């Protein structure tokens, strides 16, 4: 059965605009932005034994049966990323891909719970600092990193917070995130480190309302007091939550291909984005783990265009990313000026 979102066509003019427009991405994982062939290369380089014998079989594993299968593949990919050079290489490939799509600024998650046993922390921080500098010089792209705690390993939370604080002092980490297995690991388990992170001035985020329903989003709001929600699409199941999100204008980082590929949104239904936007919820468009879901940021906008979102609505979602970012007011103004210049050129 073909997915409903693949059934419609859009004008070439709209597709071209979506490709060309400058963009900001607020929800993308560095490890998940590394494609299957690169992971395979890293496995050979670091002498990690893959679960299958050939690259084609490894690529075939990216057709995820469910969220747990996705986490298994993601977990193996992370085991292959072992040295500072690996991260330099991954950041370079990530930047080249973002530049190709006219992405101008990214807030990038790092799966810190799983990285910290492989690396001396100072080495990771040094490599990422260099990556930020390189992004600016070679691609004119700004990057900031947000290490996250893997929910399924709550015992790593203090170590991750220490790591975040180290990079925060140096200006490369801007916040603390929470990812991984939502089922069985509620936000409450992490209240202590979120309280401390807030005291230290970090921005606070969490994936919620992806594989668990509205109660997980309520938990992220009430127990962790997050500023933005990763996904949050299952908020559409709770009218009171929709009302709350609209009233507070709490941003959601929506990643539609991820939702379809992981079964969060049924393939034969339109994405929850329509219900969220119509309820007045503040949404942004993002790609999550792009090559793992055969997508990129442009394709996420194209998907919504194919589901009937107008140019004006898509442009508004693109503007929303500036507002929801953790940039300073001055930096936001500079991006708004750039967006305005593009808009004036195409919307005559």
**Which residue lies nearest ligand ADE, judged by its C-beta?**
179
Nearest distance from residue 288's CB to ligand ADE, in Å? 5
Q: Does 288 bind Zn ion (CB under 5 A)?
A: yes
Residues 285-314 that bind ligand ADE (CB under 6 A): 288-289
Q: Does 179 bind ligand ADE (CB under 6 A)?
A: yes
Distances, alpha carbon 98 to alpha carbons 25, 47, 182, 197, 312, in Å: 9, 29, 28, 29, 23
Nearest distance from residue 323's CB to Zn ion, in Å? 20
Which of helix, strand or coil describes residue 347? coil
Nearer to ligand ADE, 23 or 261 (CB): 261
Q: Does 86 bind ligand ADE (CB under 6 A)?
A: no
Angstrom distance (rounded) from CA 137 to CA 119:
26
Whether the CB-CB separation of 290 and 296 falls below 8 Å is answered with: yes
Q: Running DSSP on this structure, what letter comes out for residue 273?
A: H
Closest to 208 measured CA to CA, from 179, 184, 236, 237: 179
Distances, alpha carbon 241 to alpha carbons 208, 222, 224, 245, 272, in Å: 13, 12, 16, 6, 14
Q: Does 261 bind ligand ADE (CB under 6 A)?
A: no
Per-position x/- string for 247-286, each x denoting binding to Zn ion as judged by CB under 5 A, each - no binding: ----------------------------------------
Nearest distance from residue 289's CB to ligand ADE, in Å? 5
* Given 180, 187, 219, 291, the residue binding ligand ADE (CB under 6 A): 180
Q: 145 phi and psi, to 5 degrees?
A: -110, 145
* Given 207, 257, 261, 271, the residue binding ligand ADE (CB under 6 A): 207
Nearest distance from residue 258's CB to ligand ADE, in Å? 5
Q: Does 182 bind Zn ion (CB under 5 A)?
A: no
Whether the CB-CB separation of 243 and 223 falls below 8 Å is answered with: no
Whether the CB-CB separation of 260 and 267 falls below 8 Å is answered with: yes
* Given 210, 253, 296, 300, the residue binding ligand ADE (CB under 6 A): 210
Residues 23-42 that bind ligand ADE (CB under 6 A): 29, 32
Picked from Zn ion, ligand ADE, none, the partner binding residue 104 (CB below 5 to 8 A depending on kind) is none
Structure tokens at 128: 């990422």
Whether 247 is catalytic = no
Nearest distance from residue 210's CB to ligand ADE, in Å? 5
Decide the pairing of beta strands 142-150 and 103-111: parallel
Nearer to ligand ADE, 27 or 306 (CB): 27
Residues 123-142 that bind ligand ADE (CB under 6 A): none
DSSP alpha helices (H): ranges in the chain?
12-20, 36-45, 55-60, 67-79, 84-100, 112-115, 121-134, 157-169, 191-199, 214-222, 239-248, 256-261, 273-278, 297-306, 311-324, 329-346
Nearest distance from residue 290's CB to ligand ADE, in Å? 11
Q: Which of 97, 210, 253, 300 is catalytic?
A: 210
Residues at the site binding Zn ion, with contacts judged by CB under 5 A: 288
Any idea which residues carry the catalytic annotation?
A: 210
Residues at the site binding ligand ADE, with contacts judged by CB under 6 A: 29, 32, 74, 179-180, 207, 210, 258, 288-289
């Amino acid at each position: 059965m073909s997915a409903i979102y693949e059934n419609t066509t859009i004008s070439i003019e709209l597709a071209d605009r979506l490709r060309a427009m400058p963009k900001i991405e607020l929800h993308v994982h560095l490890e998940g932005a590394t494609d299957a062939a690169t992971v395979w290369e890293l496995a050979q380089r670091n002498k990690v034994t893959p679960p299958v014998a050939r690259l084609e079989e490894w690529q075939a594993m990216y057709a995820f049966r469910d969220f747990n299968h996705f986490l298994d593949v993601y977990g193996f990919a992370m085991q292959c990323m072992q040295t500072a050079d690996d991260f330099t290489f991954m950041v370079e490939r990530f930047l080249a891909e973002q530049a190709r799509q006219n992405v101008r600024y990214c807030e990038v998650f790092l799966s810190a719970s799983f990285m910290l046993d492989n690396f001396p922390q100072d080495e990771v921080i040094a490599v990422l600092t260099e990556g930020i500098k390189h992004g600016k010089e070679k691609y004119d792209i700004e990057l900031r990193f947000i290490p996250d705690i893997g929910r399924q390993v709550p015992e790593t939370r203090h170590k991750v917070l220490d790591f975040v604080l180290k990079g925060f002092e140096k200006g490369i980490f801007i916040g603390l995130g929470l990812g991984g297995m939502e089922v069985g690991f509620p936000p409450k388990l992490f209240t202590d480190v979120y309280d401390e992170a807030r005291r230290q001035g970090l921005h606070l985020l969490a994936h919620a309302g992806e594989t668990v329903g509205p109660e997980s989003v309520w938990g992220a709001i009430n127990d962790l007091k997050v500023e933005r929600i990763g996904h949050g699409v299952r908020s559409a199941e709770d009218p009171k939550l929709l009302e709350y999100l609209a009233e507070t204008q709490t941003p959601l980082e929506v990643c539609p291909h991820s939702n379809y590929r992981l079964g969060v949104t049924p393939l034969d239904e339109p994405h929850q984005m329509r219900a969220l936007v119509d309820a007045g919820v503040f949404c942004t468009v993002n790609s999550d783990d792009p090559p793992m879901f055969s997508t990129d940021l442009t394709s996420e906008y194209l998907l919504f265009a194919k589901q009937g979102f107008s140019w004006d609505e898509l442009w508004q979602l693109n503007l929303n990313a500036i507002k929801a970012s953790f940039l300073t007011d001055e930096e936001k103004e500079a991006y708004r000026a750039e967006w305005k210049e593009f808009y004036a050129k195409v919307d005559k």
